[in-house]
Amino acid sequence: MSCYSIDLRQRAVNAHINGKSKSQTCRDFQISRPTLDKWLSQFTE
């Protein structure tokens, strides 16, 4: 398991919110889909 910086998390979430698909966001930031889904759910809480 890898630790991700808060900055990376925010940039990935913002990229998706601003219209980038989940698949493209995961490729761009080299993260897994479950990781992005977790970050998105945490962001919306």
What is the pLDDT, as a whole number, of residue 15?
A: 98
Phi, psi of 13 (to 5 degrees): -60, -45
DSSP per residue over 3-32, as a string?
---HHHHHHHHHHHHTT--HHHHHHHHT--
What is the pLDDT, as a whole number, of residue 44?
A: 79
What digits encode the pLDDT tens for the residues 1-45? 579 999 999 999 999 999 999 999 999 999 999 999 999 999 877
